[in-house]
Chain A
Amino acid sequence: MFSNNTKCSTSEDDDASIISQYAQDLLDYSSCYGSHGSLSYSAVNICGRPCKYPSYGDFAECFSLRHYGPRTDNEYSVKDIHDKITFHDFVVIQFENFVVPREITIFETYNPGAVVKILAYMWNDKRWEVLYEEQPMLVEKKSRAFCPKLKKVNAMTRVLRIEFDCSLLDYYIGIDSVLLTGLKPSTLIPQPVTESKFIMGLIQQKLDNVNFRPQLTASDAIEEFLKNDLNKFIENVGFTDSAVQIRREKAISDMPDEVIFKIMSFLDLKSLYNCSRVSKKFHQIAKDPLLYTEVNLRVYWYRVNTILFSSLQERCKLIRKLDLSSCGYYGSVTAEDFIKFLRANGRSLTHLRLNSSQFLNSFCLQQIGFKCENLIELSLQNYANISEEREFRPLSLLTRLETVDLSRSGIDTFALVTLMKSNKNLLHMYLAFNQQLSVDQICLHISIDLPRLRTLDLWKCHGLTTAGLRVLARCENLEVCDFGWNLREESIITDPFKNLIQNNPRIRKFVLAAVRGIAERDLLNIAALCTNLEYLDLMGIVGITSEAVHKILQSCNRLKVIDLSFCENLDDVTLFQWANEFNVCIKRSEVPSEF
């Protein structure tokens, strides 16, 4: 089936030395639709051979991410995000054999186009190499074997990280499998420095001297130009060796420091470091702590190391927002580095994101509690993937938190309750995928301690029952409620549910995916009471009738999105009519007819 995809195009490769292999292990992931302990839509489904390709549709046997569409959270340090390719989500997978990568095929079975970056961990050099990088694409909605053109490298790897940006998609992605094709490491011959490369270096220097930069990026075209036309070009424009010494009447270094500082204030972190290498004066200005009030190392995660981190320590005396998400694979940043940084600069931090930060351990959390007294936002997504031993209690030393993201962090009920007690101004609390929590107990404390809470994300915590719903109904300021995959054992939730929506008229986003107890009457209550509703997810609610959903469409005037996937009583014709009748985006997953 894949013979066309696996064929290597390069002539250097002799067939006997080529290995093609599917992913063997899942090492890390940012998010997946499925939950721990279940195989449906789980990240581990990316391993092994394709099981659905070339079929197209919403398959539980594939890997799917929890989110799609434009991201709503604000990135730190916008200048570091601007015009860069950044990811929303990622997976790290390991293959059985080391190879020199030549071809990677990603079997996309639902909403393709989100792969933006592929990196390989190069074993000998101990660093990540970017093999592919491109903006997300809007592509035809059918399955595809995505086989991007890779950067050619001559080192071996068995670990890949694939990064996704789902902002262009209008529904969930589905990835079936990843195939890595490459040369056996034993066939690797070190490449001598060729003569043409050497010449190119000299010519490049000459070009730099005359301040000429060819705009072409295709290296072949440049080489062609350098070999044949360069001398002609230099003659034509009248540069001679003496003309190289064009002196400007003014140099940028003559400008007042504050003007150079202003120029630097537009620059991203990498450009700032390049500036500090330019000259002593530039170095002095580029180190100004005012240029480092927001630092986003998530964008540079695969380059961040101990040296960079310790040099930042001095520059970050006034730091307020720090994102270290995804940093620290294979010991590139250690807990000690982080703790040293916090001891020096923790006090000024107001925002800290450590999603999937690999160095995280209990000592780090302890220092966050001890040193970061001014934190108003803390994000520790996926800590449970990193460490078995987790001690969250020191976090209750914090008192100013307004936003806390503990999705898949593995926090225990006791630690969360003490954290809530000491941070009564919490507005947004994300607890998705924490199945260990006693959710009803958490809800009780929310109703007592967090009167201002606006966002409560309990996606796939599973533990919420009517008892929890009953106490949660005492809240009055909820705007975003995610109860997806909770209330699974309940047959009737009507009264507490009605109380909740009655007391919280500001609810904008309501996720009730797979909440079994939701019935006709509850939907009619939503229609009557949730006047501010913009997003409603009713995925997998089997018993509901088209009359009730129609009522919601008629009365919730602000509704923009409604998810009706796997609502078996609703037929496609009705949904099509609604899509024309109402200005609402109706989501329904595509299930191939074989089902």
Chain B
Amino acid sequence: MDIDRPSDPQVSVVSSDGTMFHTTLKSILLSGTIKDMIEHIGEGGVENMGAIPLQNVDSKTLEIVIKWIEHHKDNIQPTSEEIKDKTADFIDPWDENFLEMDLDKLYNLITAANYLNIPQLLWLSTRKIAMLIKNRTPQEIRSLFNIEDDWTPQEIEAVQKENQWCEEK
């Protein structure tokens, strides 16, 4: 990493539980939220800006996010608009491998990617969850994601009728 080069100065971020992480400006700018923050301060102020507090991201998750943004800092990131039209595109094997984590970590990552506004990371992580949902029955989805079945017997009848066509016989 070229952290010493003035073109990509070092930046610090602090997680919700108080851990400080060092990364580079180029990497952290992949986050739309932080980009907005820094643009507000003005480019000149970056060196003297001090650590950026991220109250919604814990240290475990922040570590994962930083790993991803540092890997992708030199790649051209698609905008949210471009991502909207993406469906079953090719996934970079590094990303595929990166997303191999348990569901709790994945949830936290999605929440962080959403809060930090990193469209490509949000696309990848939500897609990962979607692939787990695909081709599963409602009960399987419930047990996989710990969701409570909150339908009353009266309500369920109508929903079940609607769903009859997709039940395997």
Q: Are B141 and A275 neighbours in the complex by a CB distance under 8 Å?
A: yes
Complex interface: stretch among A302-310, A402-410, A441-449, A489-497:
A302-310
Contacting residues of chain A (7-39) with chain B, CB-CB under 8 angstroms: none
Give the total of B residues in contact with A, Cβ under 8 Å: 45
Give the total of A residues in contact with B, Cβ under 8 Å: 47
Question: Does B55 lie at the interface of the complex (its beta carbon under 8 Å from any beta carbon of A)?
Answer: no
Q: Are B138 and A248 neighbours in the complex by a CB distance under 8 Å?
A: no
Question: Does B62 lie at the interface of the complex (its beta carbon under 8 Å from any beta carbon of A)?
Answer: no
Residues from chain B with Cβ under 8 Å of A283 in the complex? 159
Residues from chain B with Cβ under 8 Å of A274 in the complex? 133, 136-138, 141, 163, 166
Residues from chain B with Cβ under 8 Å of A271 in the complex? 130, 133-136
Q: Are B130 and A264 neighbours in the complex by a CB distance under 8 Å?
A: yes
Most interface-central of A274, A278, A280 (chain B CB within 10 A): A278
Q: Are A276 and B104 neighbours in the complex by a CB distance under 8 Å?
A: no
Contacting residues of chain A (391-447) with chain B, CB-CB under 8 angstroms: none
How long is the Cα–Cα vector from A278 to B141 in the complex, in angstroms? Answer: 7
How long is the Cα–Cα vector from A298 to B57 in the complex, in angstroms? Answer: 44
How long is the Cα–Cα vector from A265 to B28 in the complex, in angstroms? Answer: 27
Question: Does A288 lie at the interface of the complex (its beta carbon under 8 Å from any beta carbon of B)?
Answer: no
Residues from chain B with Cβ under 8 Å of A267 in the complex? 130, 133-134
Q: Give 1 or 0 for each of A237-268: 1 = CB within 8 Å of chain B CB.
A: 00000000001111111011011001111111
Q: Are B104 and A249 neighbours in the complex by a CB distance under 8 Å?
A: yes
Q: Which of A127, A129, A247, A263 contacts B126 (CB 8 A)?
A: A263
Question: Does B146 lie at the interface of the complex (its beta carbon under 8 Å from any beta carbon of A)?
Answer: yes
Question: Does B148 lie at the interface of the complex (its beta carbon under 8 Å from any beta carbon of A)?
Answer: yes
Contacting residues of chain A (164-212) with chain B, CB-CB under 8 angstroms: 208-209, 211
Shortest distance between the CB of A350 and any CB in chain B (Å): 16
Complex interface: stretch among B4-12, B93-101, B105-113:
B105-113
How long is the Cα–Cα vector from A211 to B141 in the complex, in angstroms? Answer: 10
Q: What is the chain B residue whose CB lies nearest that of A307?
A: B161
Shortest distance between the CB of B140 and any CB in chain A (Å): 7
Residues from chain B with Cβ under 8 Å of A208 in the complex? 139-140, 143
Q: Are B159 and A255 neighbours in the complex by a CB distance under 8 Å?
A: no
Question: Does A78 lie at the interface of the complex (its beta carbon under 8 Å from any beta carbon of B)?
Answer: yes
Question: Does B75 lie at the interface of the complex (its beta carbon under 8 Å from any beta carbon of A)?
Answer: no
Residues from chain A with Cβ under 8 Å of B103 in the complex? 248
Question: Does A232 lie at the interface of the complex (its beta carbon under 8 Å from any beta carbon of B)?
Answer: no
Residues from chain B with Cβ under 8 Å of A307 in the complex? 161-162, 164-165
Shortest distance between the CB of A263 and any CB in chain B (Å): 5
Residues from chain A with Cβ under 8 Å of B166 in the complex? 270, 273-274, 303
Q: Are B140 and A259 neighbours in the complex by a CB distance under 8 Å?
A: no
Shortest distance between the CB of A166 and any CB in chain B (Å): 22
Residues from chain B with Cβ under 8 Å of A255 in the complex? 107, 110-111
Q: What is the chain B residue whose CB lies nearest that of A250?
A: B107
How long is the Cα–Cα vector from A78 to B143 in the complex, in angstroms? Answer: 28
Shortest distance between the CB of B126 and any CB in chain A (Å): 4
Q: Are A279 and B142 neighbours in the complex by a CB distance under 8 Å?
A: yes
Q: What is the chain A residue whose CB lies nearest that of B104?
A: A248
Q: Are A252 and B126 neighbours in the complex by a CB distance under 8 Å?
A: no
Question: Does A311 lie at the interface of the complex (its beta carbon under 8 Å from any beta carbon of B)?
Answer: yes
Question: Does B48 lie at the interface of the complex (its beta carbon under 8 Å from any beta carbon of A)?
Answer: no
Question: Does B151 lie at the interface of the complex (its beta carbon under 8 Å from any beta carbon of A)?
Answer: yes
Question: Does A56 lie at the interface of the complex (its beta carbon under 8 Å from any beta carbon of B)?
Answer: no
Question: Does B149 lie at the interface of the complex (its beta carbon under 8 Å from any beta carbon of A)?
Answer: yes
Q: Are B143 and A211 neighbours in the complex by a CB distance under 8 Å?
A: yes
How long is the Cα–Cα vector from A425 to B166 in the complex, in angstroms? Answer: 40
How long is the Cα–Cα vector from A145 to B87 in the complex, in angstroms? Answer: 39
Q: Which of B88, B110, B164 contacts A82 (CB 8 A)?
A: B88
Q: Are B162 and A276 neighbours in the complex by a CB distance under 8 Å?
A: yes
How long is the Cα–Cα vector from A262 to B141 in the complex, in angstroms? Answer: 16
| Contact A252 B129, CB 8 Å, known A82-B87, A208-B140, A307-B162 | yes
Question: Does A142 lie at the interface of the complex (its beta carbon under 8 Å from any beta carbon of B)?
Answer: no
Question: Does A79 lie at the interface of the complex (its beta carbon under 8 Å from any beta carbon of B)?
Answer: yes
Q: Are B127 and A266 neighbours in the complex by a CB distance under 8 Å?
A: yes
Question: Does A277 lie at the interface of the complex (its beta carbon under 8 Å from any beta carbon of B)?
Answer: yes
Contacting residues of chain B (8-56) with chain A, CB-CB under 8 angstroms: none
Q: Are B164 and A278 neighbours in the complex by a CB distance under 8 Å?
A: no
Q: Which of A78, A127, A250, A270 contacts B108 (CB 8 A)?
A: A250
| Contact A279 B130, CB 8 Å, known A209-B143, A274-B138 | no
Residues from chain B with Cβ under 8 Å of A304 in the complex? 165
Residues from chain A with Cβ under 8 Å of B141 in the complex? 274-275, 278
How long is the Cα–Cα vector from A81 to B159 in the complex, in angstroms? Answer: 25
Residues from chain B with Cβ under 8 Å of A213 in the complex? 140
| Contact A276 B144, CB 8 Å, known A263-B126, A263-B133 | no
Q: What 10 A-B pairs come out closest when comparing CB atoms?
A: A266-B130, A277-B138, A252-B145, A82-B88, A262-B126, A303-B165, A311-B162, A308-B165, A270-B166, A263-B126
Interchain residue pairs with CB less than 8 A apart (8): A252-B145, A259-B114, A263-B129, A270-B166, A271-B135, A280-B155, A300-B165, A305-B165
Residues on A facing B (Cβ under 8 Å) = 78-79, 82-83, 127, 129, 208-209, 211, 213, 247-253, 255-256, 258-259, 262-268, 270-271, 273-280, 282-283, 300, 303-305, 307-308, 311
In the complex, given contacts A259-B122, A278-B138, what are 18 additional A-B residue pairs having Cβ atoms less than 8 angstroms apart?
A82-B88, A211-B143, A248-B104, A250-B107, A255-B111, A259-B111, A259-B114, A259-B126, A263-B129, A266-B134, A271-B133, A274-B133, A274-B138, A276-B163, A279-B149, A280-B150, A280-B155, A307-B161
